[in-house]
Structures are given as C-alpha cells and as structure tokens.
Amino acid sequence: MWAIIKKEVKTYFLSPIGYVYIGLFLAMCSIFFYLDVVNYGSIQFEYMFYSAATILTFIIPILTMRMFAEERKTGTEQLLLTSPKSITSIVLGKFLSAVIVIIISEIFTLVYLAILFYFGKPHMQTVFVTLLGFLMLAMSYISFGMFASSITENQIIAGVVTIGFFIISWFLPNFSTTLSSFSLINMFNKFPQGLIALEEIATYVTFTVLFILFTIIVLQRKKSIK
C-alpha cells in the first residue's frame, strides 16, 4: 500500500492537480482570513474555516474525479485490477494519498496562525479541534468523490456527481431539521467552537468507511467480471 501512496502523491505533484488544489484552497483561505478574521480585528484563526469548509464542496473533486475514472478511460484499469496488490490496498492507497494533500494544505494555513500570534495569542485547543474537524470533513468528501470516480470513466461526470451530492447534503436541513444529522458540512460547525463533537466524529468516520467499502465492492465486482 505504501508504494501506491507514493505513486499517487507523486502523480498529484508531477501534474498540476496537487498544485491547483492547494493554490485554490490557499487563495480562498487568504480571502476568508481577511474577511472573517482581519476585517473584524479578531485573532480567532478558526473563524475562516467556517467559510473554507464550503470551498471543499467545489475543490475536493479536483483530487478525486480522476482516481479511477482516468484509469478506466486510459485502459490502465485492467492492469490495476490484475496487479498482485489487493483491491483494498489500492483503494486505501489512493484515499490516503488524497488525505496527505489535504494535510499539506492544512499545514500551509498555519502561516495565518503565525500572523495572528504577532497580534495576540489564539486559543490553541480550538485551533487544533478546528483542524481536526476540517480534516474529518475532507476525508468524508474524499471517500464519496473516490466512489463517484469508481462508477464512471468520465472525470467530468464523477466531478459533477460529487459536487451535486455535496450541495444536496448541504441544503438538507432546509427541508427538515431531522435531516441536519446527514449534512456533513453542518456537522463541522461545532469544531470551530472548540467542541470535540464525538457524535459528529463518529458520523464522519462511519460515512468515510462506508464509501471506501462501496468503492472496494465496485472494483471487486469489476475484477470478478473481467
């Protein structure tokens, strides 16, 4: 699995994909840092993540839409399915490589935290809880995006399906308050308050594991058919 992670991480950074994702993410974070933190004379680093979380809806597909769709389109899926590595290790390797890109982008946001330390002392527990929640949200999004990529050979379709699902889940509470527990982005809102939201963490983990398993099942079926 480590070999797959290394290969996928290299793919992200030997192509524009990783740079485009991180560049867009940091550009938007810079805007939110100014609007949500500097503009209010605040030293609350976590405030910009309320807005940054919404951006994941539209940029996570940059990382996920090509994961398996590209393999199928270029004809390398057959090599992937017949390789000595298990389907599980392939899926986890691709998933973790995308998570690494997310972690790298989070590390870059610490530049904004360093700026705030010049003006005051941000609450570090809240900072770490916010970064944890943001990572959990991103992992959930990656798992679904990866699943969407596994069921089509068209990257654009995979991206549209992923964004569509995120937007629908985003607005679920507008239809019924009972559906708020299914809105991934709304569950994130507790983390920037410094709250270790165990129920939300459990939901994120369950959602992530579920769609990783769905992706494995899809690929196993394709392997058995081939």
Q: Which of 71-85, 95-109, 158-172, 197-211 has the lowest mean pLDDT?
A: 71-85
Tokens of 172: 């679920």
Please report, for residues 95, 140, 164, 176, the alpha-carbon distance to residue 172 in angstroms, rounded to integers and kept in the order given. Answer: 26, 17, 12, 7
Residue 106: band (very low, low, confident or very high) from pLDDT cuts 50, 70, 90 = very high
Residue 197: band (very low, low, confident or very high) from pLDDT cuts 50, 70, 90 = confident
**Other C-beta atoms lying within 10 Å of the C-beta of residue 175:** 10
Segment 109-122, tens digit of pLDDT: 999 999 999 888 88
d(CA 141, CA 54): 11
How many domains is the chain partitioned into structurally? 1
Q: What is the pLDDT of residue 25?
A: 95
Question: What pTM does this model have?
Answer: 0.92
Q: How many residues are given for the chain?
A: 226
Stretch 25-41: mean pLDDT, rounded? 91
Identify the domain containing residue 152 by its residue range.
2-225
Instruction: Say which residues have a Cβ less than 8 Å from residue 92's Cβ, sequence separation at least 6.
Output: 1, 212
pLDDT at residue 29 above 80? yes
CA nearest neighbour of 37 among 25, 49, 27, 24: 49
Stretch 102-129: mean pLDDT, rounded? 92
* Whether the Cβ atoms of residue 158 and residue 65 lie closer than 8 Å to each other: yes
* Whether the Cβ atoms of residue 151 and residue 67 lie closer than 8 Å to each other: no
CA nearest neighbour of 135 among 88, 184, 179, 173: 184
